[in-house]
Structure 1
Amino acid sequence: MSAVTTTTAAAPATAQQESRPARRRRRGLSPGRRLPATRLVGPAVLIAVWAAASAAGRLDPGAIPAPWTVLRTAGHLWSAGTLRTDIATSVERAAYGFAIGLTAGVVLALASGLSRIGEALIDGTVQLNRAIPTLGLIPLFILWLGIGEAFKIAIIAIVVYIPIYLNTHAALSGIDSRFVELAEVQGLSRVQFVRQIVIPGALPGFFVGLRLGVTGSWLGLVVLEQINATSGLGYMMFQAQNYGQSDVILVGLLVYGVFGLVSDSAVRLIERRVLSWRRTLSS
């Protein structure tokens, strides 16, 4: 009787000892709790290295000015009103192009992802457009739309809509067919099917494409604002290149970088709120 009791008592103890290492191993696989403002660590380290190298005289001030020189130049441009005007112009161009590209990407992805006819008509054309360098379309769009603002906004819209379409279409194609069968069994209408099955299933891919589209709208401006422009960050950088003002060029690059980081962070915040029902590594 005592042997049975000892064996019975030893069994839970052994199981508990085996479960503790296993539990520790499972906990170790997770990335851990999310830390606040972690994406600012990398840029902060880069700026610190830049400042240290400038202070030590390791960098040529004519090629790469010190951070304090760039900040002083930015303050001067802001007080003079030049930087404010250029930022407002660039934001307006990026916003118009992004709005058009976002609408086109979502509409085309839904039409292609929910219909075989739509896929046959749309998907191949978009893939062909994706294979063509977007900046290579600039001469053709200048002939079609003129050399004013219209062609700049059109090119930005193309840069934006392609990643949104591709990721949203891939998410739609990846929806489990069992959900479609369940919707048919439940007798859902087309509108109910889109609202309850399609949209939740496509949102993760849509947000990935949205982040790429937001960044692409800023990247396109760098080139477009150097073509027949009289204002904008790209125009400011192009003029600074002609006069050898590397500090002004760095001001433009830093503003582009800040806008890109802020807009991407905003999209990620919206994504976490909208997709709060998902349990993922990032959450």
Structure 2
Amino acid sequence: MTTTATPPLVETRAPVRKRARGQRRWYRLISPIVLLVAWETASRTGVLPEEKVPAPSLVVRTGWRLATDGDLTVHLTSSLTRALIGLAVGGGLALVLGAVAALLRLGDHAIDPPVQMARMLPHLGLVPLLIIWVGIGEELKISLVALGSFFPLYFNTYAGIRDIDQRLVEAARTCGLNQWQRLRHVVLPGALPSIFLGLRLAIGAGWLSLVVGEQVNAQTGIGFLMMEAREFSQTDVVVLGLLIYALLGLLSDVLIRFAERRTLTWRRGLQAT
């Protein structure tokens, strides 16, 4: 009597889970599409005055026109350059200082108190002082982005390292791991979830800071484009600039989420039902 082997249960369920995850990702597009349709309908029926809130179709046509002329590319490249440099400076300092303050007692005493005091100051309120220090050129925009991104990443790096269970470190020491190996195999993996969270918050704060910075004596950038459009009452260009900032922030968050999933494959968090 012959028997038919039953395929492993994991192999039959894995494609189903992948399809379900793909369907859930598409579900996330429903609410934005509904909002866009409602916005377009309200604008076309006169519920929303066109001179106050232009229809999405008009904003898209304006964006296409600016992209065809090449103006949008110039302003977008300038904004991205400022954001990347500011995030690199502020994020790099946050990671280094957060790690030193969390790992070394001397670093904790020397670094954390000044940072705790400085975080109570609204960095956007420091614009007048920054203008005196660095002027009104590119340094001001980059400094604002660096300040905005520094604090979220610093505090999440600090908290992520300090929240690691000390018993895990002691167990690694007992197993013969040296200090560098403990940092690599215990401290870094344990702190990565908090670091990724801090990075997502830092990018959001960096974009917010850039909006303000590009409205101060800028000649290029999405913020400059919006300020110039305000002078001529071009509401469609202003709304386009806001949508570009929103899309850049969303794209940044999606990329960080993707990197987080790839890096933290060992971590299984609570799934929504």
TM-score normalised per structure 1 = 0.85
For 2:80 and 2:106, how far apart are their aligned partners in 1? 37
Tell me by how many angstroms 1:43 deviates. Answer: 2.3
Assess, with a 3 A threshold, how the Cα gap between structure 1 residues 106 and 138 changes in structure 2: closer, same or farther.
same
Number of corresponding residues: 251
In the TM superposition, 1:126-275 aligns within 5 A as 126-275=115-264
Instruction: Letter of the 1:142 partner, please give it.
Output: I
Contact in 1 for aligned 2:157/2:195 (Cα 8 Å): yes
Please identify the structure whose Cα radius of gyration is greater.
Answer: 1
Q: TM-score under structure 2 normalisation? A: 0.88
Between the aligned partners of 2:161 and 2:39, the Cα distance in structure 1 is 44
Tell me whether 1:86 sits opposite 2:91 in the alignment.
no
* 1:100 counterpart = 2:89: yes
* 152-161 or 40-49, larger mean C-alpha shift: 40-49
Query: Gaps (5+ residues) in structure 1?
Result: 1-32
| Aligned equivalents of 2:239, 2:189: Cα separation in 1 | 41
Contact 2:144–2:210 at 8 Å: present in 1 too? no
The 4+ residue runs of structure 1 with deviation greater than 6 A are none
Please say if 1:111 is aligned against 2:100: yes
Shift of the 206–187 alpha-carbon distance from structure 1 to 2, 3 Å rule, reads same
Give the secondary structure class of the aligned counterpart of 2:25: coil
Q: C-alpha displacement at 1:97, in angstroms?
A: 0.3
Question: What's the CA shift for 1:73?
Answer: 1.0
Any idea what SS the aligned residue of 2:67 has? helix
RMSD of aligned alpha carbons? 1.4
User: Among residues 10, 18, 25, which one is paired with 1:36 in the alignment?
Assistant: 25
Distance 1:175 1:98, change over 3 A: same
- 2:26 and 2:251 map into 1 onto residues whose CA distance is 12
Please list every run of 5 or more consecutive structure 2 residues that lacks an aligned counterpart in the other structure: 1-19
Identity in percent? 44
